[in-house]
Amino acid sequence: MRVSTPRMGNLPLIVEDLACRFGIDYIEPPVFSEETVRIGASLAPEFACLPLKAVVGTFVQALEAGADTLLMGGGSGPCRFGYYAEIQRRILEKEGYRFKLIILDPPSTSLKAAYSGLRSIVPPDVARFGTLVRELRRALAKVVVFDEIEKWGLALKGREAEPGSVERAAEEACSVTAAAFTGKEIRRARREVQQLFENVGLDDDRQCLRIGVVGEIFVVLEPYFNFDIGNWLGKRGVVVERSVHIADTAYPGGRNPVFGYDERQVARAAAPYLTHEVGGDGLLSVGATAIFARRGFDAVIHFLPFTCMPEVIAKSVLARVSEEMGIPVLSLTIDEQTGRAGVETRLEALLDLARSKRRRETIPLEGRFSTSPTGDLSLRGGSQPP
Ligand code: SF4
C-alpha cells in the first residue's frame, strides 16, 4: 500500500509519525496551491463546501504522485462530512482513478467501525492489539505536543521582542517533537519545547490586542485557506488563541486538553444562545466565543466555508453573542473565490474597532483563570503557554 491522506494543519506530521510506527509507505499530500483548488473545484459539485473540493484536489495530486490507498475520515450527525468519503470515491472513480479508499470512523460514532478501519491499514500481523493501542497512545501524546507548539506560537508571536524568534522556536520545537518516539522521549521533547518558548524574548511594554479564532476545523487549521491568520495577526502585535485543535478532536471523552475546556464546559458557555449540537464545530464556535468574551478578549474571528450549514447556524447565533456580551465578531466566509485583499481589509477594520473598544477588565469564568507571562491566556488544566 502507498497511502495518502488529506492535508490539514499538523495532520501530515501526525500521519508521518503513525506511518513510521507501523511501517506504512506514506505519500505526503502536496501543500495546497491554486492548482489543488482548481482541480477540486472543477470535479466537485458546485455547492459542496470548500473542504470537499480541497480534499478532492489533494487526492488527485496524491494519486498522480503514486498513492494507491486513500484514507478519509468518516462521521455522523447533521454535517455532510459523513457522506464525503463516498462522494470522493465516486468522483475519483468517474475520472478513471483506481485506488482503495479506507474510511476511518471516529470512535465516538462506532468503536467497531473505527477498529475495523484501523485494521485495514494495520493488520494484526503488523501490530497485535496491545502494540496497536500503545503506539496510538504515543502518537496521541505527540499530537498534543504538536498542537501546543501552535498554541504557544500564536500566544507569543504578537509579543516577541525580535521578529522571527517565535517562528524559529516553533520550527526547532517541531523537529525535536518529530524525533521523539517512545513515551519517555515524547515527555522529554515536551519539556524541551517549553524551554524553547521560554527562551523567546518578549516585549512586555507592547499593548497587545487579544483575539480568539473560532470556526470550522479545516479552514481554521489550514493556513492556505485562512490566509495564515496566526502570522498575519502576530505581525500586527495581536495575541491569538484558537478554539480548534486536532488533538482535541482526537482525544477520547471530549476532554479538549489543548483548548483547555472540555465539551461540557463549552456547551454550558454556549447554552444561553444555542442549546444543542448543530454538527461540525458549530456549537464549539458559539461556546468558545462566549468563553473568549468572558475572558475579556478584544474580538473574535469566525471562519466558515461557504455553504457550511453548522457554521451558518453559528454565524446567526454569534450576532446575538456579540451584541449581548459586547465583543466584536467578524465572520469570514471562505470559498475558492475568496481573495486575500478583501479579507485583509475586513481584518484591518476589525483591529481598528477592537483597539477603539479596548476592553480593560477580565471576567473570570468559574475561577479557572490565572495570570501568567502571557496575560490570562493560561488555563489551569489546559496547556499553558510557558
Ligand atoms: S463542518 Fe461544514 S465545511 Fe466542514 S464538512 Fe461539515 S458542512 Fe462542510
Same domain, 109 and 238: no
Indicate whether 372 pLDDT > 60.
Answer: no
Same domain, 8 and 118: yes
Distance of CA 201 to CAs 130, 144, 153, 156, 239, Å? 44, 24, 13, 9, 15
Burial of 296 (0-12, 13-18, 19+ CB in 10 A): middle
Same domain, 347 and 231: yes
Boundary (domain end) residue, out of 76, 102, 127:
127
Query: Is the beta carbon of 271 within 6 A of some atom in ligand 1?
Result: no
CA 305 to ligand 1: nearest atom: 3
pLDDT band at residue 361, thresholds of 50, 70 and 90? low
Choose the residue to mutate in 52, 216, 217, 312 for probing ligand 1, maximizing ligand atoms within 8 Å of C-beta.
Answer: 216
Q: Look at the chain and report how many structural domains it folds into.
A: 2
Residue 133, in any domain of the structure = no
**In contact, 282 and 310? CB cutoff 8 Å:** yes
Across 164-193, average pLDDT:
96
Quote the ligand 1 centre to 84 CA distance (angstroms).
10
Same domain, 209 and 119: no
Residue 96, in any domain of the structure = yes
* 249: containing domain: 205-356
Residue 199, in any domain of the structure = no
pLDDT of residue 195: 95
If one counts every other C-beta atom within 10 angstroms of the C-beta of residue 33, the result is: 12
Amino acid, single-letter form, for residue 353? L
Stated as kind and residue range, the H or E segment containing 33 is none
Boundary (domain end) residue, out of 127, 156, 191:
127
Report, in angstroms and rounded to the nearest whole number, the Rg of the chain calculated over CA atoms: 20
Indicate whether 369 pLDDT > 60.
Answer: no
Across 229-242, average pLDDT:
96
Residue 141, in any domain of the structure = no
Query: Is the beta carbon of 80 within 6 A of some atom in ligand 1?
Result: yes
Indicate whether 43 pLDDT > 60.
Answer: yes
Instruction: Find the length of the chain.
Output: 386
The x, y and z cell numbers of residue 49, run together, are 463546501
Indicate whether 362 pLDDT > 60.
Answer: no
Across 197-202, average pLDDT:
95
Q: Identify the weakest region by mean pLDDT among 134-138, 169-173, 205-209.
A: 205-209
Indicate whether 244 pLDDT > 90.
Answer: yes
- How far is it, in rounded angstroms, from Cα 51 to Cα 322? 27
List the residue whose alpha carbon is closest to atom 1 of ligand 1: 280
pLDDT band at residue 87, thresholds of 50, 70 and 90? very high
The x, y and z cell numbers of residue 109, run together, are 460514532
Q: How many CA atoms lie within 13 A of 16 on its CB side?
A: 15
Distance of CA 268 to CAs 169, 262, 265, 272, 291, Å? 36, 10, 5, 8, 10
DSSP 348: H
User: In terms of DSSP bridges, do strands 329-334 and 299-305 run parallel, antiparallel, or are they unpaired?
Assistant: parallel
Across 83-108, average pLDDT:
92
Amino acid, single-letter form, for residue 55? V
pLDDT band at residue 360, thresholds of 50, 70 and 90? low
Same domain, 225 and 330: yes
Across 148-162, average pLDDT:
96
pLDDT band at residue 357, thresholds of 50, 70 and 90? confident
Boundary (domain end) residue, out of 127, 143, 165:
127
- How far is it, in rounded angstroms, from Cα 132 to Cα 137? 9
Query: Is the beta carbon of 377 within 6 A of some atom in ligand 1?
Result: no
pLDDT of residue 250: 85
pLDDT of residue 359: 56
Across 185-195, average pLDDT:
96
CATH code for the domain of 111? 3.40.50
User: In terms of DSSP bridges, do strands 69-73 and 2-4 run parallel, antiparallel, or are they unpaired?
Assistant: parallel
Indicate whether 251 pLDDT > 90.
Answer: no
Quote the ligand 1 centre to 264 CA distance (angstroms).
22
Same domain, 80 and 209: no
Residue 147, in any domain of the structure = no
pLDDT of residue 321: 97
Same domain, 120 and 211: no
If one counts every other C-beta atom within 10 angstroms of the C-beta of residue 279, the result is: 19
**In contact, 79 and 309? CB cutoff 8 Å:** yes
For residues 238-262, one letter each, b for 16 or more C-beta atoms within 10 angstroms of the residue's C-beta and e for the rest, the string is bbbbbbbbbbbbbbeeebbbbbbbb
Amino acid, single-letter form, for residue 319? A
CA 218 to ligand 1: nearest atom: 4
Residue whose cell numbers read 517512545: 182
Indicate whether 194 pLDDT > 70.
Answer: yes
pLDDT band at residue 143, thresholds of 50, 70 and 90? very high
Residue 75, in any domain of the structure = yes
Mean pLDDT, the chain, as a whole number?
90
Quote the ligand 1 centre to 309 CA distance (angstroms).
7
The shares of helix, strand and coil residues in the chain, as percent rounded to the nearest 5, are: 50, 10, 35
CA 48 to ligand 1: nearest atom: 8
Residue 236, in any domain of the structure = yes
Q: Identify the weakest region by mean pLDDT among 261-270, 288-297, 320-329, 377-386.
A: 377-386
Indicate whether 255 pLDDT > 90.
Answer: no
Quote the ligand 1 centre to 311 CA distance (angstroms).
8
pLDDT of residue 384: 55
Quote the ligand 1 centre to 147 CA distance (angstroms).
21
CATH code for the domain of 339? 3.40.50.11900
pLDDT exceeding 90 applies to what percent of the chain?
80
pLDDT of residue 214: 98
Contacts of 251 by beta carbon, 8 Å cutoff, 6+ apart: 140, 144, 257
The C-alpha angle 189, 190, 193, rounded to 5 degrees, equals 85
The x, y and z cell numbers of residue 205, run together, are 511594554
**In contact, 43 and 55? CB cutoff 8 Å:** no
Residue 115, in any domain of the structure = yes
Same domain, 338 and 226: yes
Same domain, 211 and 348: yes
pLDDT exceeding 70 applies to what percent of the chain?
93
Quote the ligand 1 centre to 99 CA distance (angstroms).
25
Residue bearing the bigger pLDDT, 100 or 375: 100
pLDDT of residue 379: 35
Query: Could you report the per-residue pLDDT of 260-281, keeping only the tens digit for each?
Result: 999 999 999 999 999 999 999 9
End-to-end CA distance of the chain: 41
Choose the residue to mutate in 55, 83, 306, 308 for probing ligand 1, maximizing ligand atoms within 8 Å of C-beta.
Answer: 308
Quote the ligand 1 centre to 221 CA distance (angstroms).
13
Q: How many CA atoms lie within 13 A of 146 on its CB side?
A: 24
